[in-house]
Amino acid sequence: MATIAFVLASDFEDSEFRGPYDALRGAGHEVEILGARAGEVVRGKRGKEQVEIEAASADRAATRYDALVIPGGYSPDHLRTDAGTVRLVRDFAATGRPLAAICHGPQLLIEAGVVRGKTMTSWPSVRKDLENAGARWVDQEVAVDGALITSRKPEDIPAFARTILERLGGAARRPDDYAASNRPAAP
């Protein structure tokens, strides 16, 4: 099975964490929660979820994971100022493996400098930021561009999670299993 990183900080959108997390774990995948500081307990903005950060993003290599997921809420905005998380996201994008962000999650992708030339979706208030960073924004449930998977809002979670699972193919992959066509364009 695959090993998947979720990056979180306080004020994440509870359902945008829980829905994909449960879908991936339910399919037998291993999930590790990363953030600014290992051992920190972060809470969802709606107060339904609380999660302990298992490892600091700065202490992990992108090559350790088969996919990376960025839930929305205010968490991505908080993580934009964490150099370790930004580096991990940037390095992960270069692997060509599935990189998924929902709602405000693309804010972290903008900070990592990996959206130029990509077709993406997001929460509507992130649209102009994506366009200014060189992405093409579309209003649809899921947008897939190479290895990049984006969705708009909590109502899109089933399609978002299903797309991540489809991209993983139900099993862990070696780095050379990812097709060259899925590699991100050079910045």
pLDDT reading at 177 higher than 50: no
> Strands 136-137 and 142-145, how do they pair?
unpaired
Q: State the average pLDDT over residues 37-62.
A: 98
Average pLDDT, stretch 46-60?
A: 97
Q: What is the DSSP string of 93-135?
A: HTTTS-EEEETTTHHHHHHTT--TT-EE---GGGHHHHHHTTP
Distance CA 157, CA 89 (A): 21
Examine the pLDDT at 146 and tell me if it is beyond 80.
yes
Burial degree of 43 (CB within 10 A; 0-12, 13-18, 19+):
middle
Topology, domain 3-171? Rossmann fold (3.40.50)
Model confidence at 97, pLDDT cuts 50, 70, 90, reads very high
CA distance linking residue 106 with residue 120, whole number of Å:
9
CA 187 → CA 22, 138, 162, distances in Å? Answer: 33, 21, 28
pTM of the predicted protein model: 0.90
Give the list of residues 6+ apart from residue 107 with CB closer than 8 angstroms, or none.
Answer: 76, 77, 80, 126, 129
Predicted local distance difference test score (pLDDT) of residue 169: 87
Residue 185 has pLDDT above 60, yes or no: no
Write the single-letter amino acid at 118: K
Residue 81, classed as helix, strand or coil, is coil
Question: What is the chain's length?
Answer: 187
Catalytic residues: 103
The reported pLDDT for the residue numbered 65 is: 98
Q: Helix, strand, or coil here: 161? A: helix
> Which tokens go with 128?
């102009």
Q: Read off the amino acid at residue 165.
A: L
Element (H, E) at 17: helix 14-26
Alpha carbon distance 162, 10 (integer Å): 25
Residue 2 has pLDDT above 60, yes or no: yes
Domain boundaries, the chain: 3-171
- Residue 176, pLDDT above cutoff 50: no
Q: Is 72 helix (H, G, I), strand (E, B) or coil?
A: coil
